[in-house]
Amino acid sequence: MRVVIIEDEQFAARRLESMILAADQQIQVVAKLESVEESVEWFRNNPHPDLIFLDIHLEDDLSFVIFDKVQVNSPIIFTTAFDEYAIRAFKLKSIDYLLKPIVQEELNNAIRKYRDMVTPAQQMVDLSSIYSLITRQNPTYKERFSITVGQKIKTFTVPEIAFFYSTEGISFMVLKNKSEYPLDESLEELSQALNPKDFFRINRKYLVKIDSIANVHIYPKSHLKLELSPLPKEEVFVSIDKVTAFKKWLDNK
């Protein structure tokens, strides 16, 4: 079975690939795609796979845009961090889905469900209907964080936050007053929970808030270095593959 993973977080894509191979080593992951643009190009120039694992919210747009630009007849298993309302919609549309963070047993069951189908056509769904169900919702975003500090619980609101960063598998929240606290959530989970108008994942280690960016320095070959406030412990660059989306995000402000 040939599989394509569409996921803009490289760590999540690698983890999903490992889980897929753990479910069945005979499965071949033929491509891991990170954006709408890259996916459209790939589908235009390659035989379509037997199955697609599809993240809904990609770096450059919702993944539904892919199917507006190119005809894809492969069945889909969604990987999503959307709320329970959207999950119920997926169920009603007979779409298989994996709620992030993905659990191996649920992945195994999803692959088993796909194989139990008589024909792949049974998995075909009205993607435009699902797109409408998701985009017409009024999204709610995280407004505060509760942190255990010793024997106390401290609560911080989003306006107090400057940025988030990750090191050695641990995420940290940095406040405008320069204090920082470890979090249980990954940067990927934080990206989903926070308002995308205010926060942007500039690379695999940093999720920055718009008002924490003091300056943007332009380097050769389209590299962008951010001057954040408060100053982080290292130089912070926008990943080259995120530069275009980052500029659009700045413009939207």
Give pLDDT tens digits for 163-182. Answer: 999 998 899 999 999 999 99
The highest-confidence range among 47-51, 97-101, 138-142, by mean pLDDT, is 47-51
Band the pLDDT of 113: cuts 50, 70, 90: confident
Sheet of 236-238: strand order equals 213-218, 224-228, 236-238
Q: Which domains does the chain have, with CATH numbers?
A: 2-135 (3.40.50.2300), 144-252 (2.40.50.1020)
* Angle CA 89–66–92, to nearest 5: 10
CA 100 to chain CA centroid, Å, is 10
pLDDT at 94 over 50: no
Q: What pTM did the predictor assign?
A: 0.55
- Token look-up 């401290």 returns 154
- The DSSP line for the chain is -EEEEE-S-HHHHHHHHHHHHHH-TT-EEEEEE-SHHHHHHHHHHS---SEEEEESB-SSSBTHHHHHHS-----EEEEE---HHHHHHHHHTT-EEEESSP-HHHHHHHHHHHHHSSSGGGG---HHHHHHHHHTS------EEEEEETTEEEEEEGGGEEEEEEETTEEEEEETTS-EEEESS-HHHHHHHS-TTTEEE-SSSEEEEGGGEEEEEE-GGG-EEEEESS--SS-EEE-GGGHHHHHHHHHH-
Contact predicate 19/107, CB 8 Å: yes
State residue 21's pLDDT score: 96
Q: What is the pLDDT of residues 59-92, one digit of tens each?
A: 788 888 898 899 888 888 888 776 554 555 455 4
The amino acid sitting at 6 is I
Token pair 């539904």: residue? 64
Whether residue 53 contacts residue 60, with contact meaning beta carbons closer than 8 Å, is answered with no
